[in-house]
Structure 1
């Protein structure tokens, strides 16, 4: 028997983005529930009009580090994406604004750095070609 890995579902208020239910991740001898089953299972959903909440379905392990390091999260109701609040090490009790997951920012910085390195290498190559041409053709 293959052990399943099921990502979490995050049910949220469609007006505020506040989390109503986080189903958590499951693995092993588990089964995946349907959205209709979740509404029956979770009282917080049963008590609400279905038009008043939305759901994000995340793959198993998605945003693991963000969930571990944040002190809160919500759904941006316009973009339907997660936003996290991370504690400030200098002021751990002070509430912090919600922001794009740091894991996404780090990945974007890696891409930007790779692009900058590529651009720098291309610039170096052009400069070397120019210098070679200049000195091969009499220079100064």
Structure 2
């Protein structure tokens, strides 16, 4: 069985309170109530002030491999915001931003659309401007 990671966050600020890592093998999925009983960071909070996002197994694998850490949840979209280390200055704090994997996917889609537009324009020019 493969269970994706879970992030509990403050519903007022989006700040991460507790991360529950992904698990695989002979594991059982825990309930939110069990997590509140297990983790001190959650036990000391009122449940109605805590939100939770469940991820697919390995959903952000490449982001974690790049050193990314989920530090906040975007309260409007429910998407995780990551901070990534700067190899030239690892101590410098960075503003949380969407996952690099999500940004790369969006740029790939945009690039494909632009390439199609360029091909269409090139064909129009090659045909003497007749559409």
Residue in structure 2 matching 1:113, options 89, 108, 111: 111
- The runs of at least 4 aligned residues of structure 1 exceeding 3 Å deviation read none
Corresponding residue of 1:138 = none
Partner of 1:78: 76
TM-score of the pair, normalised by structure 2: 0.88
RMSD between aligned alpha carbons?
1.7
Q: Distance in 2 between matches of 1:34 and 1:89?
A: 38
Q: Which has the higher helix share?
A: 1
Does the 8 Å contact 1:39/1:45 carry over to 2?
yes
CA contact (8 A) 1:72 1:86 kept: no
Structure 1: state its 5+ residue gaps. Answer: 134-140
**Kept in 1: contact 2:5–2:55 (CA 8 A):** yes
**Residue 39 of structure 1 corresponds to which residue in structure 2?**
36
Query: How far apart in 1 are the matches of 2:72 and 2:33?
Result: 22
**What does residue 126 of structure 2 align with?**
128
Contact 1:84/1:99 (<8 A) preserved: yes
Q: How far does residue 72 in structure 1 lie from its aligned partner after superposition?
A: 5.2
- How many residue pairs get aligned? The number is 129
Instruction: Name which one, 1 or 2, has greater alpha-carbon Rg.
Output: 1
Q: Distance in 2 between matches of 1:31 and 1:23?
A: 13
Deviations 1:1-43 (A, max 9, x none): xxx1000110011122221111100001111112222222222
Q: Which residue of 2 aligns with 1:58?
A: 55
101-110 vs 70-79, greater mean Cα deviation: 70-79
Asked if the contact 2:69/2:84 (under 8 Å) is kept, the reply is: yes
Give the secondary structure class of the aligned counterpart of 2:77: coil
* Structure 2 portions without partners, runs of 5+: none
